[in-house]
């Protein structure tokens, strides 16, 4: 089976930085995705890592270490609109398109 | 460009009834996926279509669930008869087929159908 762990909740102050960790133990690995989901809305794609290292995209960065089965999503200069659930998902194999998700981390940004 | 659309957004039915959920993928996306999130749990894979063919249905819970994608465009997911444990949010996603090196298969999700079985 697939095991993907991430913290349940995190709280941070507007303007601050928050790091959401994700650890995974899966039958295979061919990419890790981060999605953002506001309540009642569609999960929206944030980032994709398949090689080790850091991918930066504006205020959001994602890091991957395949040897450690570890990723993090870094949110900088937090804004109130960043309050949402953040989902870590792994694609297990090259010809296996389905995603295995963690339970999600609810981030609350306070003024 | 329209995103993935799902209908209805919310459905409330009684145990034993039938419900059909519909998903319209992004135009041109050959891959279509169904996922489900039950209360307090993670999103779980149900089924993957490539065009009209079922590529992977390993996540379908039992034979009360029937997914179709006639013509390779929109898809339907029928639950018959519905049971209490079928309650949850059903998500549909779509993605392109790989056409070049570095393809990442980003899956684009709909807002989901919230199914409540009473």
Q: Is B97 on the interface with A (CB under 8 A)?
A: no
A20, β-bridge pairs: A73
pLDDT tens by residue, A24-62: 998 889 899 999 999 999 999 999 999 999 999 999 999
Residues in chain A: 111
Chain A interface, mutation test: which of B94, B105, B110, B113, most A Cβ atoms within 10 Å?
Answer: B105
- pLDDT confidence of residue B97: 73
Helical (H) or strand (E) element with A23: strand A18-25
Give the nearest partner residue to B104 out of A31, A101, A102, using CB atoms. Answer: A31
Task: Please give the sequence-ordered ranges of beta strands (E in DSSP) within chain B, or none if there are none.
Answer: 5-7, 10-13, 19-24, 31-37, 43-50, 53-56, 65-68, 75-79, 88-95, 108-109, 113-117
Asked if residue A56 lies in contact with residue A10, where contact means CB atoms within 8 angstroms, the answer is no
pLDDT tens by residue, B90-114: 999 999 876 555 556 899 999 999 9
Alpha carbon distance B26, B74 (integer Å) = 9
Chain A interface, mutation test: which of B9, B43, B92, most A Cβ atoms within 10 Å?
Answer: B43
Query: Per-residue pLDDT for B36 more than 90?
Result: yes
pLDDT tens by residue, B3-32: 999 999 999 999 999 999 999 999 989 999
φ, ψ at B103 (rounded to 5°): -55, 135
């Amino acid at each position: 089976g697939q095991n993907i762990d991430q913290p349940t909740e995190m709280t941070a102050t507007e303007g601050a930085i928050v790091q959401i960790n994700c650890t995974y133990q899966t039958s295979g690995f061919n990419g890790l995705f981060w999605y953002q989901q506001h309540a009642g809305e569609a999960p929206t794609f944030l980032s994709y890592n398949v090689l080790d290292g850091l991918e930066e995209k504006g205020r959001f960065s994602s890091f991957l270490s395949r040897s450690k089965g570890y990723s993090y999503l870094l949110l900088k200069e937090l804004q109130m609109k960043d309050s949402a659930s953040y989902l870590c998902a792994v694609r297990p194999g090259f010809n296996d398109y389905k995603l295995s998700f963690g339970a999600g981390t609810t981030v609350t940004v306070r003024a | 460009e329209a995103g993935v659309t799902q209908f209805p957004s919310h459905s409330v039915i009684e145990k034993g009834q039938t419900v059909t959920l519909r998903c319209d993928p992004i135009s041109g996306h050959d891959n279509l996926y169904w996922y489900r999130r039950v209360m307090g749990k993670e999103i779980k894979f149900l089924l993957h279509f490539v065009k009209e063919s079922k590529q992977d249905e390993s996540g379908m819970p039992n034979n009360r669930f029937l997914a179709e994608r006639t013509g390779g465009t929109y898809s339907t997911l029928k639950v018959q008869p519905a049971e209490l444990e079928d309650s949850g949010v059903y998500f549909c996603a779509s993605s392109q087929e790989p056409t070049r090196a570095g393809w990442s298969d980003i899956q684009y999700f709909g807002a989901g159908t919230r199914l409540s079985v009473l």
